[in-house]
A and B are shown apart, each in its own frame.
Chain A
């Protein structure tokens, strides 16, 4: 059974700082998802990646399949980036996801 671990659980940053959130998983997977959840809000898919790196605006996600590790980076952080960031891996052939507990990010102005 795949297990997904995230660190840190909580993160406070000043506006403009470079932020890194880490995710590790216990079994081999072919793709990993990064999701964003704003307070009281729904869940939005940021990235799904199976190798290398993906970039969208100020967000960058990297994955190392051999090391079973992925990172989400936010450059030039902004208060509107304050949210819970969740990584998730595949749970099986039925397509469900196994989720980490999330990293709560707070960016102060």
Chain B
């Protein structure tokens, strides 16, 4: 049972390049989330999905897009990367709403130069 798997684990981008981060979970969870983690700050919500085919904006959505075409996958896209998007990105999934346990991926360390 792999849990939550993120790919890639590391990436360096040049300003203006695009990329897609993949999050895959094998627990049949409905809810999936993308967070970013920056020094001195708590994790912040970028986008989330409460089911296949649905997505919504979180606290810091600008510069990112997401898709949830399949229940097990949640993709985070950067169309034109900026240095401000240098961060560690975490995907998480949950079976349901507020009072359910969250499962996290290993993180993707992204550097935009």
Q: Determine whether the beta carbon of A98 is less than 8 Å from that of B42.
A: yes
- Assess the B90–A4 pair: CB atoms within 8 A: no
CB pairs A–B below 8 angstroms (26 shown): A4-B42, A31-B98, A41-B107, A42-B106, A42-B107, A43-B107, A44-B104, A86-B42, A88-B42, A88-B43, A88-B102, A90-B98, A91-B45, A94-B97, A95-B31, A95-B33, A95-B48, A95-B94, A95-B96, A95-B97, A95-B100, A96-B33, A96-B45, A97-B45, A98-B42, A101-B42
Smallest Cβ distance from A26 to chain B, in angstroms? 13
Inter-chain contact A42/B42, CB cutoff 8 Å: no
Q: How far is the CA of A100 from the CA of B43 in the complex (A)?
A: 8
A97 CB contacts on chain B under 8 angstroms: 43, 45, 92, 102
Residue of B with least CB distance to A33: B102
Classify chain A's interface size. 20 to 34
**How many angstroms between the C-alpha atoms of A86 and B106 in the bound complex?**
15
Where the two chains meet, the residues of B that have a C-beta atom closer than 8 Å to any C-beta of A are 31, 33, 35, 40-45, 48, 50, 56, 58, 90, 92, 94, 96-107
The CA of A101 and the CA of B43, in the complex, are separated in Å by 8
In Å, the complex CA distance between A96 and B58 comes to: 9
Q: How far is the CA of A88 from the CA of B101 in the complex (A)?
A: 11
Of the candidates B44, B92, B98, the one whose C-beta lies within 8 Å of that of A30 is: B98
Query: How far does the Cβ of A38 sit from chain B's closest Cβ, in whole Å?
Result: 11
Q: Which of A31, A45, A94, A100 contacts B50 (CB 8 A)?
A: A94
**CB-nearest residue of chain B relative to A47?**
B101
B40–chain A nearest beta-carbon distance, Å: 7
A93 interface contact, C-beta 8 A: yes
C-beta contact mask, A27-61 vs B, less than 8 Å → 1, else 0?
00011010100000111110010100000000000
Complex Cα–Cα for A42 and B103 (A): 10
